[in-house]
Amino acid sequence: MSKEVKSIYLGLLLSVVSVVLHNYLYFLLKKEEGVFFILAFLALIVFVFALIYSLTKYVTEKKPEDLWKVGFLGVLGFLGLVPQLGQVFFGFFGFALFFSLKGGYDSKIALKNIALAVALVCVIGTLSFVFYQTVKNNQDDAYFFLNFMKEQEMLEGIDFTDLDKVAFVWPGNTEPVSGKGFGGMTITNEQYDQLRDFFQAAGFEIDFFDIEPTTNAGVSGYKKDSVWCVLKAGFYYDENGDPIPEDRLRCEISCAQM
């Protein structure tokens, strides 16, 4: 395998490994980390430039002769069949067009140039969209709102936990809503009132209020444009199941961009 083809595979492999490590650290640390996220982006750039360089060299110098081997990356297109990953991965089937180079440079040059152009557009478009979706899912409106909440002066006495991925129930939705939030917080009754006042001051409208049957916690649902949030707070209980008579409440805040 030529060094050009190796650099293409290595660039994509480094990008995938960096993304996996980024998500693994996010799962362990419960917060965003930037090192592997940046490495994934840089590796993606290396992959694209290696691909463009190899195509340019192939057209001008008719090398590397084994550039058709990049077509095996078309197998990644089948990832589009996995619901959790999304149909955008079907764009990887564009790599299969590289197999048209297997017969040599001189045969059907025009057809191959068209195929290469289509493959390049499919590949770069797919990778750009995947990267955009990754950024969008990690840092959407709910993410920015929750970080904005931590910086507000009226809430400065609240000890926010690290931002984490959460799933919460919204009345009328058959499936749990996936989003981000603060869990395992301890607040006072006054701070609970401050949180409710903050949602109203931020322009949210209350959509529902309910009592959770298992914990007797108050659950409030707020909406503002595409951001839905749930504020849940309830008493701590002793080992006998009786409320602890202290000014302490268990609190969770969950938000999602719908």
Map 58-104 to HEC letters: HHHHCCCCCHHHHHHHHHHHHHHHCCCCCHHHHHHHHHHHHHHHCCC
For residues 256 and 142, the answer to whether their CB atoms sit within 8 Å is: yes
H or E segment at 15? helix 3-29
pTM confidence score:
0.48
User: Residue 193, SS3?
Assistant: helix
Which CA distances in Å does 116 have to 55, 88, 101? 8, 20, 9
Per-residue pLDDT of the chain (258 residues; tens, 9 = 90+): 788 888 888 887 887 787 777 767 766 665 556 677 778 778 778 877 887 788 777 777 777 777 778 778 777 777 666 655 555 566 677 777 777 677 655 545 545 565 665 566 666 666 655 555 555 455 567 888 888 888 877 788 888 888 788 888 888 777 888 888 888 888 888 888 888 888 888 888 888 888 877 777 888 889 988 888 889 888 887 777 677 777 888 889 888 887
Would residue 101 be called left, alpha or beta, if left means φ above 0 and alpha means ψ between -120 and 50 degrees?
Answer: alpha
